[in-house]
Structure 1
Amino acid sequence: MKFGSINCIKEEITMNVEVVSSFFSPDIPSLIKKESNDLYIEFLEITDELNEALLEFKLPPAVKCVYNPSIYARYTFEMYVRKYCNTKKKIMFFGMNPGPWGMSQTGVPFGEISSVRDWLGIDGPVNRPPQEIRERPVDGFNCKRTEVSGKRFWGLFKTLCGTPDKFFETSFVYNYINQQWMKSNGCNLTPGDFKILYLSHPSPRSVNNNNWEEKALGELKRHDLIKYFN
């Protein structure tokens, strides 16, 4: 997993995986009816289960506000999934989380407004999150800010593919998580902002790894972690 980049996963092996899930938010306005087993319905069910699980997630202390556009921008979010996640894909592009001027405004990953409305053909009402930070207002498609990353991403594939249908024939775009985490000043807190420590892999295939135990102990001491194990 790489933070600060878009991860692209190409399917090489076909696997049969059964996913059993159900909606957990029947009160959320929905564009869909649960009468078919279309892929987009399965995707939305998985998204709802993830949202339910995230309610129990203990956020880092620095997070003061959370936006989840897959809930408050449900109309356009579902429109995106229903329109473009209705066939099996060979390629999945994963971003990290919603951007303040992209998906948090439109409900669409890398959701720069002109790209979403004019190229993807998605538009509609966007509600406001339960708690809103003044520095990061949610104005939906009336937002005047431009998300540069979304403009670049969709702009590239508009140039390559011409039409959205050509792109989504093989590909889909989503995020690791549905939530935008913000500090009190509205600044994004992304996974790349967390402190991540590394321990050398114990495999004998690693070069110069005969003294792994010694190296591992050294790393634990250097990061002041050894106290948790003594």
Structure 2
Amino acid sequence: MDQYFHGVGAKRQFHRDCDISSVPGAIDFASFSQLASQQAVTKQAALAGVMQEYMDDRWKDRQVGSAAVFPGSAPTSSRVLYNNNDEMAQAAHSLLMAQHSVAADLDAVAAAQAASRNFMSAHIADPLTLSHPHDADDSPKEHLTEDDLAHDNVVANFLSNPQNQQQLEAALDLHQQQQELIGSADSTIAENEEDSFNAQIVQAFLWIEAKLCAKLKCVKFSDKVEYVYNPLEYASDPHAHYVSKYSGTKAVLFLGMNPGPYGMAQNGVPFGDTRYVRDWLKITGAVHHPPHEHPRRIVQGLDCTRSEVSGARFWGFIAKICGTPEQFFRHCFVHNYCPLTFMTKSGKNIIPAALPATERRNLEAICDEALLQCIRVIRAQIIVAIGKYAADRVTCVLQSAGDESAASIRIVRILHPSPASPQANRGWEEVVTQQLQESGIIQYLQSPG
């Protein structure tokens, strides 16, 4: 776990200038779906009101956006909150202060813009209420009809005056510059807000997994399980790269079972066939060896040359349907229910469902809790369970949650791409295409229009 905490914490810099070893206790994971009841620490108390208003506004914006992008997905009242997480508070507060700073800088621009608008409204903004340049007194403006303008030389006379023309050109130039400046500032603020929000989700997701890893170390397995690999630890760098690059608020979560020996067990990416992880997803990072490694199941990381059939089928299908990773991850994310790979003394793979009952229940109690937290963090509204085991677990998790938010989440099951499945070997891609079409999930994968 030290390698995971220090590797992820240092390389991704989610907790800068803090003691990594003390961070896991800094997040109250029980408060992800409800309003935090504790006040901020004393030094943050003065900012508590501002921070709550900021987070409320940001979340309202997210809910409105979600409802607009995904019709029929009812926004819920549960929110992602980080109890006693000073780093998150400081990051959000810094963003808020940056917004105020930019807004203050634009005060002068707004004043100048108002002046230019007044000038243009007095001369050219409304051609039906132009002041006649030959009027020497302060008489009221003459109201002209369109027919009058067609035969009058008011506009021509006004523009023929060099001084008026220079004023007009200067006003138009200033107006254009102001619009460009305001547009640039708005774009920068929006981009910073998006990056900050996504960084908080990535941070929360990785620490849920870190806590999951710590708890799984307490689970004891029978002699049947000779080897246990945890790629979240020895492949923490590419795994964190995958999460930080592609996670965020997602409508659809594709849920697998656990790592395969030549997939995620090699590189930390779900269904991680090396060719697709390295060349299509563009994931990089150093991979170490598990502490207890089977001599016939050596971890080679992104240099592994053996293909993972399930991974090649899954990511090959996604690449074919979506074209680019960006298209797929616009609305979707892929996650495994259990991060551990189990093997017998001979190196044979053991799926979680085949574990002895007591061990399986202990494992599932821990993984169930982490799965619910992950679903809430990324705000998934649809879970695409890949295979029966994943479907059974997520169904149990959401039913046991006992809240309206969990009850509103839809579960769709698709065929697992494992070569151990005769049905998958007879045309997995065709079967899954039909399943995704019938369930309406295909719309989240294909480009609009």
Identify, as 1 or 2, the structure richer in helix: 2
In the alignment, structure 1 residue 123 sits paired with structure 2 residue 281: no
Q: What does residue 65 of structure 1 align with?
A: 227
Shift in Å, 1:19: 5.7
Distance 1:42 1:53 in 2: 17
Q: What does residue 219 of structure 1 align with?
A: none
Shift in Å, 1:60: 3.7
Shift in Å, 1:186: 1.1
Where do residues 78-117 of structure 1 align in structure 2 (5 Å cutoff)? Answer: 78-85=240-247, 87-117=248-278
Distance 1:106 1:21 in 2: 32
In the alignment, structure 1 residue 136 sits paired with structure 2 residue 136: no
Letter in 2 for 1:183: T
Letter in 2 for 1:179: L
Q: Mark the runs of 5 or more structure 2 residues left unpaired by the alignment.
A: 1-71, 85-89, 92-195, 358-449
Q: What does residue 189 of structure 1 align with?
A: 350
In the alignment, structure 1 residue 76 sits paired with structure 2 residue 238: yes
Give the match's secondary structure for 2:349: coil
Where do residues 126-165 of structure 1 align in structure 2 (5 Å cutoff)? Answer: 126-165=287-326
Residue 179 (structure 1) aligned to one of 326, 340, 360: 340
Give the match's secondary structure for 1:184: coil
TM-score, with length taken from structure 2? 0.37
Greater relative contact order (CA < 8 Å, ≥ 6 in sequence): 1
Distance 1:175 1:96 in 2: 5
Q: Which structure: larger Rg?
A: 2
Question: Structure 1 residues 190, 20: closer, same or farther in 2, change over 3 A?
Answer: farther
CA offsets per residue over residues 158-204 of structure 1, 9 Å max, x none?
A: 111111011011111111111101111111111232467xxxxxxxx
CA offsets per residue over residues 65-96 of structure 1, 9 Å max, x none?
A: 111111100110000000001x2111111111
Q: What does residue 45 of structure 1 align with?
A: 207
Give the match's secondary structure for 1:38: helix
Distance 2:322 2:75 in 1: 25
CA offsets per residue over residues 131-174 of structure 1, 9 Å max, x none?
A: 10011100111212100110110111111111101101111111
TM-score, with length taken from structure 1? 0.70
Letter in 2 for 1:82: S
In the alignment, structure 1 residue 55 sits paired with structure 2 residue 244: no
Given that 1:21 and 1:42 are in contact with CA atoms closer than 8 Å, whether structure 2 keeps it comes out as no
Distance 2:352 2:304 in 1: 26
Given that 1:21 and 1:49 are in contact with CA atoms closer than 8 Å, whether structure 2 keeps it comes out as no
Identical pairs, percent: 41
Distance 1:110 1:82 in 2: 17
Letter in 2 for 1:45: W
Distance 1:56 1:70 in 2: 16
Number of aligned positions between the proteins: 175
Superposition RMSD in Å: 2.3
Distance 2:74 2:336 in 1: 22
Shift in Å, 1:13: 4.5
Shift in Å, 1:116: 0.4
Give the match's secondary structure for 2:342: strand
Shift in Å, 1:14: 3.6
